[in-house]
Structure 1
Amino acid sequence: MTEPPKKEQLYELIRANPFISQQDLASRLGLSRSAVANYIATLVRERRILGRAYVLPDQRPILCIGASNLDRKLRSTGKLVLGTSNPASQDESFGGVARNIAENLARLGTPVALVTAVGSDASGRALLAHAEEAGVDTRGALRLDGVGSGTYTAVLDQDGEMVVALADMALNDRLTPDFLATRQQQRANAALIVADLNLPSESVAALREDALRDGVPLVLVAVSEPKMARLPRQLRGLRLLILNQGELAARVGHALESDAAVGAACADLQAQGVQDVIVTRGARGVMYTSPAGLMRLDAPAVKVVDVTGAGDAFAAAVCWSLHSGEADLGLACRRGLQLSSMTIECEQTVCPALDPGQLESLNESVLD
């Protein structure tokens, strides 16, 4: 049988991986980079492709990189007593820090893509299908055969406050620097990259180095105190770090018992290279860096239904502001607190009532 023409082989490679680089195409097909570029130009003229996953400048997406998993929430129906069995109700939903941020952004009407790892099980297929239905581009996801998708199990007390959580996130260790290199074109075309610290240390370091080299702003979102060890010592190239006070304490290696101590810890991080830091403090609001020093915002009063996903909603609103060109980090944080409050007051991990029109009303409320 005659081998298909090089142009058709190239077309099939692009169909299989819309984010494959020209260098990879050249190597796979035994062609020069200039020959690959000519074939791509021909395919664009023929309207068979639109430039491999390239998008127009005003449509450049936010790219979220990190965990997707199945959330299981067990809520005690009475006062929680440790060391014995407690009556509880159970709920399952889709979660994962990067996935949650991506869904929030999609519901806000923002172009967003997700690079994550899922298994070949029903949970993995459902995770990606749900994200796609919400408007998230999942073509860059890593799909792994023979393994189960990640899970996160939270135990909540009768008031909806988390008591303990157990996370099976080993699947994210497969999001290695080598894998991320296969998504280089997708990362280069992003307007903003948001990554969570479920990624391996080497991958976080690689994203920071690429941000420094390519100039694509990078936001890192912490996920737990133990995983703060995955944050590089050198933070130059990092636009923003979002973490809670316990995670900040884990980074600096000592307790933070006053606002002044939090401010000093943030200054230490800035000395290590990060441009800005946001410290979330639950019901006490947030603190954030500014040219005038460390600033503080109180959290709105809310009726707590379920706190799961509140921090991810906050991060999404902040990233939405950065993507929109907002230079005022204080306004971004006020939007984050509003969106976080909405999430706390609903049962779902991502508030289903959120939409672009809702965001406009949030913008008006925070400017009052």
Structure 2
Amino acid sequence: MNMKETKIIDIICIGGANVDWKIQTLKPLAYGTSNPAISAKTKGGVARNVAESSGRIGLKTSLLSYVGADTEGEWLMQNTKDFVDVSPTEIIHGESTGTYTAVLDDDGEMAVAFANMSIYNEVKEYFFENNIRHIQSAKMILLDTNFPAKVIGQVITSCKNTGIPICITPVSVSKADKLPDSLEGVTWLIANHKEAEALSKLEITSEGDFYRAAEVIMKKGVEKVVITRGEKGLIYFTNNGEAGAIVPPSVPVVDVTGSGDSLIAGILFGYLKGLSTEDACKIGVSCSLITLQTSDTVSSELNQQSLQESFKKYFSN
């Protein structure tokens, strides 16, 4: 059992902590041939990205993940600990730290991605019992779907029983299948277009379809559903009748990678500060706009001051 000191924190982020490789073509992407490109190594993993983004904007955050006993894992933790308490994260011998490789086109949009996440298969059923003190010390939990379905179910059930707010982000269409049919106890579910289709079993082709999909997901037990729509922003739908869309302004996009993770951090920041669903979503969009305009998965320019300036610039009216 992990007997490390536990302290009250704002958010504990549970899930992926990976090393990201980004490969961006210098010209329009051509299949079946060689493409001139540039590459970069960055910090990644949805839970880790949300944790760092949350820490950068002033929340006390910790990360509960698995990394390998390798140079990649050491590099990842060293470059995360300035903004996040990484002590709950376990180092697994004999496994490699997770990696995510994204191929971006010359506009910075993802063309294809590859994930090597076998280390998360090492997360055992006793994971929850070993980490219950960490989990129950948080004001809120962020859970991605990198861990096994049984562990995900245990965390959701614990939050339902203890009343700890929890936000789930599905990570991908395939990993969304790990979520239980009942999502009773889930406070927020934040998904993209394709993940929302998978969860709702609906094809989303129109504005109204986004709300219909959100309503189906909400009927599983979720209090607040957010579905992101790329450059068209997001829609939100809650069980107390709030519904709406946030359409962001057009900004120069350098790289879309990580913008959704900073969006989640901003939404949860707003929620923990007691803001309305609409204003929390505006905080989230403000964070994502900062991230979109940099090449970093988690922007080094993201902080409380830049967030305030972004929010004032785009939403103060």
TM over 0.5: yes
- Aligned to 2:177, what secondary structure does the other structure show? helix
- Aligned to 1:262, what secondary structure does the other structure show? helix
Q: 1:175 to 1:301 in 2, by over 3 A?
A: same
TM-score when scaled to structure 2?
Answer: 0.95
Q: Distance in 2 between matches of 1:80 and 1:359?
A: 33
Amino acid in structure 1 at the alignment position of 2:21: R
- Aligned to 1:67, what secondary structure does the other structure show? coil
1:156 equivalenced with 2:78 (yes/no)? no
1:361 equivalenced with 2:305 (yes/no)? no
Q: 1:156 to 1:232 in 2, by over 3 A?
A: same
Q: Distance in 1 between matches of 2:234 and 2:204?
A: 14
Structure richer in helix, relative to its length:
1
TM-score when scaled to structure 1?
Answer: 0.83
Deviation (angstroms), 1:181: 1.7
TM-superposition CA deviations, 1:226-264 (whole Å, max 9, x none): 111011100100001000111111122231112222222
- Aligned to 1:230, what secondary structure does the other structure show? coil
Q: State the match for 2:6 in structure 1.
A: 53
Q: 1:67 aligns with which of 1, 6, 16?
A: 16
1:86 equivalenced with 2:35 (yes/no)? yes
Deviation (angstroms), 1:308: 0.5
Q: Distance in 2 between matches of 1:176 and 1:108?
A: 33
Q: Distance in 1 between matches of 2:149 and 2:316?
A: 39
Q: Distance in 1 between matches of 2:220 and 2:28?
A: 44
Q: State the match for 1:246 in structure 2.
A: 194
Unaligned residue ranges in structure 1 (runs of 5+): 1-12, 19-51
Q: State the match for 1:47 in structure 2.
A: none
| Cα-Cα RMSD | 1.5
The 5 Å alignment of 1:162-241 reads 162-241=110-189
Amino acid in structure 2 at the alignment position of 1:144: I
Q: State the match for 1:44 in structure 2.
A: none
Amino acid in structure 2 at the alignment position of 1:141: T
TM-superposition CA deviations, 1:96-155 (whole Å, max 9, x none): 00000001011112100000000000000111111112x200111111012110000000
Q: State the match for 2:52 in structure 1.
A: 103
- Aligned to 1:123, what secondary structure does the other structure show? helix
Deviation (angstroms), 1:293: 5.0
Q: Distance in 1 between matches of 2:285 and 2:122?
A: 33
Q: Report which of the two structures shows the higher radius of gyration computed on alpha carbons.
A: 1
Deviation (angstroms), 1:160: 0.8
TM-superposition CA deviations, 1:21-60 (whole Å, max 9, x none): xxxxxxxxxxxxxxxxxxxxxxxxxxxxxxx4233xxxx3
Q: State the match for 1:259 in structure 2.
A: 207
Q: 1:241 to 1:251 in 2, by over 3 A?
A: same
Deviation (angstroms), 1:297: 1.4
Contact 1:80–1:157, Cα closer than 8 Å, also in 2: yes
